[in-house]
Structure 1
Amino acid sequence: MSGSWVSPTPSGADARLRIFCFAHAGGGSAFFRPWREQTPTGIEVVPVVLPGRESRMREQPHRRMTPLVSELVAGLRPHLDRPYAFFGHSLGSVVAYEAARALRRAGDPGPEALLVSGRRAPHMPSRLSPVSGLAEKDFLAEMVRLGGTPAEVAGKPEVIRLFLPFLRADFELNETYRPAPGPLLSCPVHAFCGDRDPLAAPQEVGGWREVTSGNFRLRVFPGDHFYLKDSKEVLEALWSSLAPALSPPG
């Protein structure tokens, strides 16, 4: 029996739009919890919880995109009872993108908008060598270099035992992912990135314009791969991107 695909949230009965948030490799719902305190009226932030972490720690993390998305879409359907959008950061961007594609193929109502962050466009190959198969010491050193794992955390064996399995799995998921052929999305796509991101240069993030027949906008902010953390400017840009979806029809 799998756990819930969404993090418990305060009652969103009055929300006109849900934004499902997908974290980076090794990340989880905690990354998005501070957003709830800065959410405009009408929007409900709903962090997505993938297998292998947080409340789903006992489940096996996915290492391939197709089975992950198949289970994910089934798990999200009960929560798609009102207009919604997807936001993903880094690996979360392509998970959100593939979920949107799967829902479209199945004839479900698609997202009002797809918001992607810190990730090159799906069709662009990575400039980096694979790291998921590295020895533990080398793998952790790479995680510290990329900025997602503090050095003090990497030096604590009891913490490493908890997060290393799903962190490796997430990186393997990202490294083996290849988008399958299929129709374009029709919803607006908004892309965001840091101007000093070593993993996703602005021109690579700008390639997301190729995945939709709808509108596209790229926003570049000061910072590295985690430029969005604790940034009010980025959050304001995110909420602004969702404004059309909150407007009454017509």
Structure 2
Amino acid sequence: MTYPKRNSQARLRLFCFPYAGGNSFIFRPWLNSLPADVELSAIEMPGHGTRMAEPLLTRMTELVAAIASSLLPHLDKPFALFGHSMGAWVSFEVARWLQAHHVYPVHLFVSGARAPQLPSLRSPLHQLPEVEFVAALRRLQGTPEAVLEHTELMELMLPILRADFTVLETYIHSSQAPLPCPITAFSGLQDVDVSPEMLQAWQTRTSAGFSHRMLPGDHFFIHSDQTLLLQLLTQELTQIISRLPEYASLKSPPDLGS
């Protein structure tokens, strides 16, 4: 994970998980738009961004274990999780991994993703030949057009995208107790892959509060409507911080040596 700017006075740490093919840099523009008492930490997945030299992971279980275990030393204050698209499912599974270790986020924000228990309505893409794979990415609006049109960048990105789609398309949701933290779900009104009903279905993944918001834009409203998204996120984070004493169930990070 990376910290664009450390904030020792922060009362809440926000861990942000990128979409397929993304990396920690996509969250840098958020730095000056979040509340002053929130510290932003962007997750860098193996084989992405600053961790490009590391092997790519292709299974959700191994990816979640790698990320969650690396988070443990950074859970010394209340924290929330935000994930967009692939990052929504990864952050959800990280929250469940932490729950099994008696550590709980105060809130989970999921964005641009259907609820994980819902079946996919399309055929898997990760084994398609390159031309068909790229065409499918464009059709699904799942990768920024600027990336798809950049030949040299796509040569670098294709193995990463294929690995990430393998994670998504081989992921099997397992039935477990709902998370005890509230969930807020965001999606774009023009997102061809996430309907309002698919977003609303996240409500069953929590035993606490749930809300959802539809924003203008397609799957990448996280960029096109970033100002509005950050305004809504800031409002919720401010409310969360004002209620922090209520989160008495938040546990200390487990001893890594135990």
Please report the TM-score for the alignment, with normalisation by the length of structure 2: 0.90
Residues 65 and 121 of structure 1: CA distance in aligned 2, closer, same or farther (over 3 Å): same
Counterparts of 1:156 and 1:236 in 2: how far apart (Å)? Answer: 32
1:124 to 2:115 alignment:
no
What does residue 85 of structure 2 align with? 90
Q: Secondary structure at the match of 2:121?
A: coil
Deviation of 1:249 after TM superposition, in Å, equals: 2.1
**Maintained 8 Å contact 1:53/1:163:** no
1:147 to 2:141 alignment:
yes
Counterparts of 1:152 and 1:33 in 2: how far apart (Å)? Answer: 18
What does residue 20 of structure 2 align with? 25
Paired residues in the alignment total 244
Q: Secondary structure at the match of 2:219?
A: coil
What does residue 164 of structure 1 align with? 158
Counterparts of 2:188 and 2:124 in 1: how far apart (Å)? Answer: 22
What does residue 68 of structure 1 align with? 63
Structure 2 stretches of 5 or more lacking a match?
247-258
Q: Pairwise CA RMSD of aligned residues?
A: 1.5
The equivalent position to 1:100 in structure 2, one of 81, 95, 111, is 95
Residue-by-residue CA offset, 1:178-197 (whole Å, 9 max, x unaligned): 12222110101000111111
What does residue 251 of structure 2 align with? none
Residue-by-residue CA offset, 1:53-74 (whole Å, 9 max, x unaligned): 1111111111111111111111
Please report the TM-score for the alignment, with normalisation by the length of structure 1: 0.92
Deviation of 1:149 after TM superposition, in Å, equals: 3.7
Residues 241 and 157 of structure 1: CA distance in aligned 2, closer, same or farther (over 3 Å): same
Counterparts of 1:74 and 1:213 in 2: how far apart (Å)? Answer: 24
Residue-by-residue CA offset, 1:132-188 (whole Å, 9 max, x unaligned): 111111111222233344555435443222111111010111111112222110101
Residues 240 and 156 of structure 1: CA distance in aligned 2, closer, same or farther (over 3 Å): closer
What does residue 245 of structure 2 align with? 249
**Maintained 8 Å contact 2:47/2:56:** yes
Counterparts of 2:49 and 2:7 in 1: how far apart (Å)? Answer: 22
**Maintained 8 Å contact 1:64/1:176:** yes
1:115 to 2:129 alignment:
no
Counterparts of 1:183 and 1:148 in 2: how far apart (Å)? Answer: 30
The equivalent position to 1:81 in structure 2, one of 72, 76, 84, is 76
Q: Secondary structure at the match of 1:103?
A: helix
**Maintained 8 Å contact 2:3/2:40:** no
Q: Secondary structure at the match of 1:120?
A: coil
Q: Percent identity?
A: 42
Q: Secondary structure at the match of 2:221?
A: coil
What does residue 237 of structure 1 align with? 232
Deviation of 1:238 after TM superposition, in Å, equals: 1.1
Counterparts of 2:214 and 2:189 in 1: how far apart (Å)? Answer: 6
Counterparts of 1:151 and 1:119 in 2: how far apart (Å)? Answer: 19
Matches within 5 A, 1:48-63: 48-63=43-58
Counterparts of 1:82 and 1:150 in 2: how far apart (Å)? Answer: 34
Structure 1 stretches of 5 or more lacking a match?
1-5
